[in-house]
Structures are given as structure tokens and as C-alpha cells.
Amino acid sequence: MIYFIKILKKEFLIYSRKSSSFISPVVFFLISISLYPIGISNDPDILKNLAPGLIWITVLLSTLISFQNIFSEDYEDGSIELLLASGQNLSMIVLIKIFVNWIFSCLPIIVLSIFSIFLLYLPQEGLKPLIISLLIGTPTICLFGALAGALSLGKNSITGPALMLPLSLPVLILGTQAINYSLNGINFASNILLLTAILIFLLPIILFASVGALKLHFN
């Protein structure tokens, strides 16, 4: 247990020293959100209908980018080798890495998405379902990102998106629908429950698959 706390502290330290780990997702998010009014239309009525989907898509893409390289540095400098040699439980370690990456790349964007009230004219009532759905949906997307990152180690740039995005489609649909339901007065609790169920169900499976994928590179 102390061992895993040590690894948690280590990962936090590494991420916090690299300012790009939380600046890049934020910058990407802000730039993308700005593209939509410019590229689509700056009419509030149009944007507020699109806002739930646009925010979710941007969060998805941003997570995809930041998870591409989750294991690449550790692979290059030999840390993963040492982890394998240590005989420790890799699932916990991968979980810790996903968690820390989530804190630095997803959490800032979730906070920023609150500003979509102004930027994309999202109605205020949509804020609660937005935050809740993002808080529960993004960890699942991070799981898929970690699997894609473990398979590609940041090298082959097609596998990450091609694998992660189709997997994330159900989460995307449930998330945007939750916000749209709420804006139309329909109860969105079932969506949140489904999202939570998906996360709990997939957590062990995808962790196991990610660890297997990492070990593949050592044959």
C-alpha cells in the first residue's frame, strides 16, 4: 500500500513539474470552443442547441490527445521495464497513472466547461447535467485512452483515435443526451446511472486489457 502511495506521489510530482500537462488540454479546449462559433454560426439560438454535443466532443478529443502519450515516456526511459521486474501489481499502477492523468487533463477542462454558459450560450439549467455527466463519463473515456495509449505507446497515431473513438460513442451519446433531456425537462437520472454502471463494469476489464497491452511490448 505504501508502495502505491509512493507511486502516486511520484506521478503527481512528474505531472506537476511539466506545465504542459495541464496547459495543453486547457489551450486545446479553449481554441476548439472558439472555432465553433466562428466556423458554424455565432447565433446564440443555434449554438445553445449544439452546445452539449460540442462540449462533449471537445472533451473527448482533448482526452484522446493527452492519453496518447500516457505510457510513452515511461517506456522510453525504461520505467516500465523496472515495473515489470519489480513484480508489483501492474493494474494498480496503471490505475494510478490514469487517475493522475485524469486529474491533470480532464479536470481542468470540466471546470472550464462551466464557461460554456457564456461561450456557447448553454442555458444555466444545463450546467448540472453537464458537470455530472462529464465527471462520470470522462473516467470511462480515460480508460479507453489508456488502452489505446498502451497499445500504441504514442508511436502509431492511427490506432489511438480509431480504437478510442468508437468505444467512446455510447458514452458520448449518453452524456449529450443527459444534458438535452434536462434542458427539455425530462429526467436524466437514467443516463447518469447507465454511465456509472458502464464505468464500474469496464474498469477491471479495460485495466486488465491495458496491462496486457503494455506487456505485449516486452516480447
**Whole-angstrom Cα distance, residue 135 to residue 132?**
5
Binding map of other proteins across residues 132-171, x = CB under 8 A, - = no contact: ---------------x---xxx-xx-xx--xx-xxx-xx-
Q: How far is the CB of 194 from other proteins (least distance, A)?
A: 9
Cβ–Cβ < 8 Å for 125, 40:
no
Q: Is position 82 an interface residue for other proteins (rule: CB under 8 A)?
A: yes
Cα–Cα distances (Å) from 67 to 8, 114, 137, 207, in that order, read: 17, 23, 15, 14
Number of residues that bind other proteins (CB under 8 A): 49
> How far out from the chain centre does Cα 103 lie?
9
Binding map of other proteins across residues 180-209, x = CB under 8 A, - = no contact: -----------------------------x
Q: How many CB atoms lie within 10 A of CB 92?
A: 16
Cβ–Cβ < 8 Å for 104, 68:
no
Q: Is position 88 an interface residue for other proteins (rule: CB under 8 A)?
A: yes
> With respect to other proteins, which residue has the nearer C-beta, 37 or 175?
175
Q: How far is the CB of 31 from other proteins (least distance, A)?
A: 25
Q: Is position 214 an interface residue for other proteins (rule: CB under 8 A)?
A: no
Specify the amino acid at residue 129.
Answer: P
**Whole-angstrom Cα distance, residue 133 to residue 193?**
10
Cβ–Cβ < 8 Å for 123, 48:
yes
Binding residue (CB under 8 A) for other proteins from 31, 44, 78, 201: 78
Contact residues for other proteins (CB under 8 A)?
Answer: 2-3, 6-7, 9-10, 13-14, 17-18, 73, 76-79, 81-88, 147, 151-153, 155-156, 158-159, 162-163, 165-167, 169-170, 173-174, 177, 209, 212-213, 215-219
